[in-house]
Homo-oligomer: A and B are copies of this chain.
Amino acid sequence: METKYLHTIYFEDLAAAALSQHMAKSNYSKVFVLVDSNTKSHCLPSFAKKCGFDIDLVIEIKAGEEHKTIQTCTTVWDALSTLGGDRKSLLINLGGGVVTDLGGFVASTFKRGIDFINVPTTLLAMVDAAIGGKTGVDFEALKNQIGVINQPEMILIFSDFLATLDKRQIRSGFAEMLKHGLILDQGYWNELIQLKDFDQSKSHIKRSTEIKSGVVEADPFEAGLRKKLNYGHTLGHAIESYFLMEANRETLLHGEAIAAGMILEAYLSHELTGLSKLELDEIKRVFLDYYGKISFDDQEIESIIELLQHDKKNTHGKVNFVLLNSIGKSIVDIKIAPELLKKAFAYYAQE
């Protein structure tokens, strides 16, 4: 596995130094920082201190997945244009997954592409969203329907931003870390489930970035290996989309939705790809302990299964899953009939 890609992720003090060096050699005409209403107040001042240059071109978007839309892109393109952005401008995305996904897409398409740097401020973005070059926005409540794959110049991880998050958000990011263990590294899974406190997850960020970026490096356009990162996401995304659309359902955080997805897909793995009953029950117990249980009625389950048809991973009308052979070992491109999905929801619901 090549290591070129890994070298673009920098941590803590080294990140600040790497940024200074990059700026010195790049001769950018203008440097824009994209923030949302939260990161503007909680992260921008400390980022400005860390990065050691004046930040005067700040573009702000509203916080929250419901603003990850083409309409928001339009306001950012407009701001870049109005503030005199050109092809040699740089966009620094300072925020969670919404800011890094949307900002990456805006940069990749402004004047057919300008440089961008991701500075993730949530655990979820640090271990997942900010890495790998998947940029984009939601479209008609379908997650990430519009976007491109394009890599940032660098990814800078400052773990002290995590102090600005509430426990629910940390827990959401932690779900992606657990996923890294489930799909590729049983030892890592075992380490993580023994943590006494989410705050301890901080010291494991580097391991998760290594797993994610190693996979992306080997398969940037998702021909095979990279698909493993979608474990829990086929049903998880459908659940997340459903909650986003339904006015009477509170929006789920991404990690909360994929936690449910990972239990459901563990059930499918037990039925189809050899995951033992013991490991299945362990996975269910771990995720229910951390994330609690969501109640779905029959009508909702139908709607969620209907939404699966729009999942980007599906082609030719079939629903494609990543499943586990065992904890730490996964397999891609398993096609599944809708009936079995209902059984998975039944297993999820049972005591």
Contact of A168 with B by CB under 8 A: no
Contact of A317 among B84, B111, B134 (CB under 8 A): B84
Contact of A70 among B70, B315, B316 (CB under 8 A): B70
How distant is the Cα of A78 from the Cα of B70 in the complex, in angstroms? 12
Contact of A139 with B by CB under 8 A: yes
Contact of A134 among B84, B112, B149 (CB under 8 A): B112
Taking the closest CB of chain B, its distance from the CB of A320, in whole angstroms, is 10
A84 touches B309 (CB 8 A): yes
B316 touches A110 (CB 8 A): no
Among the stretches A117-125, A140-148, A158-166, A196-204, the one at the interface with B is: A140-148
Q: Nearest chain-B residue to A27 (Cβ)?
A: B316
Q: In the complex, which residues of chain B have a beta carbon less than 8 angstroms from the beta carbon of A87?
A: 312-315
Taking the closest CB of chain B, its distance from the CB of A290, in whole angstroms, is 30
Contact of A46 with B by CB under 8 A: no
Q: In the complex, which residues of chain B have a beta carbon less than 8 angstroms from the beta carbon of A29?
A: 315-317
Contact of A86 among B136, B144, B314 (CB under 8 A): B314
**Interface range on chain A (Cβ under 8 Å from partner):** 35 or more
Q: In the complex, which residues of chain B have a beta carbon less than 8 angstroms from the beta carbon of A136?
A: 109, 112
Q: Interface 1/0s, chain A 91-123, versus B by CB < 8 A?
A: 000000000000001001111110000000000
Taking the closest CB of chain B, its distance from the CB of A291, in whole angstroms, is 28
B148 touches A108 (CB 8 A): yes
B145 touches A88 (CB 8 A): no
A77 touches B110 (CB 8 A): no
Taking the closest CB of chain B, its distance from the CB of A237, in whole angstroms, is 12
Contact of A310 with B by CB under 8 A: yes
Given known contacts A87-B312, A112-B147, A148-B112, is B70 in contact with A74 (CB within 8 Å)? yes
Given known contacts A70-B70, A148-B148, is B78 in contact with A111 (CB within 8 Å)? no
B109 touches A140 (CB 8 A): no
How distant is the Cα of A174 from the Cα of B70 in the complex, in angstroms? 36
Q: Nearest chain-B residue to A105 (Cβ)?
A: B109
Q: Interface 1/0s, chain A 308-347, versus B by CB < 8 A?
A: 0110111111000000000000000000000000000000
How distant is the Cα of A145 from the Cα of B78 in the complex, in angstroms? 10
Q: Interface 1/0s, chain A 64-94, versus B by CB < 8 A?
A: 0000001001100110010010111000000
Taking the closest CB of chain B, its distance from the CB of A174, in whole angstroms, is 26
Given known contacts A74-B70, A112-B149, A113-B149, is B86 in contact with A315 (CB within 8 Å)? yes
Given known contacts A29-B316, A317-B84, is B144 in contact with A112 (CB within 8 Å)? yes
Q: Can you list 10 A-B pairs, Cβ within 8 angstroms, ordered by A?
A: A78-B140, A81-B310, A84-B309, A86-B312, A86-B315, A105-B109, A109-B109, A111-B312, A112-B149, A113-B149
